[in-house]
Structure 1
């Protein structure tokens, strides 16, 4: 009876032994632009600190993404190395540094006050944001070839909640909808073994890459511990056009989506569900401790063990 009870909680595994380890951490300060690989990242109420804090918008305040503007893949972003450590705060000499082909380097101060503008929107959310000023607007307008602005999430007055159908009480900034995306190296390796031309992990833009587990096992993880933080897998990640965009050239193709349709579609993984034509790769996460702003700063580091405490028996049982 005791074995059955603990098996139901821990999915039949032994919680004293890690299922995987964190092998890489990625942060994407500007939505749809280049990511930064870091050795550790601090947990905030909206996800990793600095992740998707900024957004490029058109003249109507609507977000640009790689889905429509694939050249955003070529925008490289840099933050001070110290920005990813506990307790760091920007000074007058701290900048968000932005580079792109054919453009001069843009340096956006991290500590200055910004004008609040209304009418900014991304997907279902709309509200106010902090305008990063004329120089940034001119830079992105030139790069995009049309009027554009760089804005920052206005944490002082705005909240963007995660879909309560999947995770109640959580929030995010300018991500597609969830604070974290987790993928495994095993899943990428399995896909690359099938593809004619292997692709790098940056096609899938995860926040947390783990290694040491079976391919696609992350589909089934619903409760896990990483550095004593409780992370919940709340929704399989349905992939959009972005994985088909080469992040080094900004050119879109048909892969890996065409191959994923053969074994990662809802028709294959979830045949009894309503079919939406989705393909799935990765697991969206929330972190329980992100709801509490009190106490010692929380972070996840490369090398941290991942303990899976609860899982479902198949992707068909996972939320999607």
Structure 2
């Protein structure tokens, strides 16, 4: 059985709506890649800021320790996420879990409590955005955020929009860019898994794929104002025992099940 495509890039977005990190391998968890959308910037009411409302978020760069993407790595007291933005001093946020709780945090349809990253982070984001802001971290110890049960019952995510994984192909990006006056980079669409080697929009038909030894289910096309672009996915065999829950750039993709036309894809 030959792969129909291969993993070209993997992206992790530690802070929702800020820049992603391109990684050579990513560790799977049931709610998304490790570190993906673990943090959120909220306003004084606890509502999530997104790029739709605050486009300046797209300029915020996030760095994690290189080893943070290794399977067995755990943060120490000296492990930091470093946040940078134009005209701002860098901000260091400890990767040790904060103690303070922020209640009434909400992102789209979900609300609950989160961990508050404290005053220094709050001042930094408040200064950068010019309005009261706080940085909060998903509190996996006390909260769960189920995805839409109509599409993927029993699955959860952290602060991503709707589902834990998003896959897009190079072929689809190339086809889209032929229609645009100004071509756009893949970073505009914020996928986690970027694949190459398949036909444009082939991923729209994939309802079950395998990468490495892991099965992903394509559950819903990603709706973006005027078009569908990208396939939302969940990791199916999350109970896999043992180590090595990693996918890497270069891994082949095997399609296990697909629909015969885009009209049949869940949207």
TM-score between both structures, scaled by the size of structure 1: 0.82
Q: Which of 210, 226, 229 does residue 281 from structure 1 map onto?
A: 229
- Bigger proportion of residues as strand: 2
In structure 2, the gaps of 5 or more residues are none
* 1:104/1:177 CA distance change after superposition, 3 Å: same
Q: Distance in 2 between matches of 1:233 and 1:219?
A: 8
Q: Which of 252, 255, 263 does residue 305 from structure 1 map onto?
A: 252
Q: Secondary structure at the match of 1:66?
A: coil
Q: Secondary structure at the match of 1:193?
A: helix
Partner of 1:28: 13
- Bigger proportion of residues as helix: 1
Q: Shift of residue 293 of structure 1?
A: 7.3
For residues 96-145 of structure 1, what are the alpha-carbon distances to aligned partners after superposition, in whole Å with 9 as ceiling and x for unaligned?
10000111000000014321121000000000000000000000000010
Aligned residues: 267
Retained in 2: the 8 A contact 1:77–1:98? yes
Retained in 2: the 8 A contact 1:29–1:54? yes
Q: Distance in 1 between matches of 2:183 and 2:102?
A: 43
Q: Shift of residue 29 of structure 1?
A: 0.3
| 4+ aligned runs moved over 4 Å, structure 1 | none
Retained in 2: the 8 A contact 1:40–1:299? yes
Q: Distance in 1 between matches of 2:234 and 2:39?
A: 20
Partner of 2:103: 118
TM-score between both structures, scaled by the size of structure 2: 0.98
Q: Shift of residue 294 of structure 1?
A: 4.6
For residues 41-76 of structure 1, what are the alpha-carbon distances to aligned partners after superposition, in whole Å with 9 as ceiling and x for unaligned?
000121100000000000000000001111100000
Q: Which entry has the higher C-alpha Rg, 1 or 2?
A: 1
* 1:220/1:119 CA distance change after superposition, 3 Å: same
* 1:311/1:112 CA distance change after superposition, 3 Å: closer
In structure 1, the gaps of 5 or more residues are 1-15, 241-277
CA RMSD of superposed structures (Å): 1.0
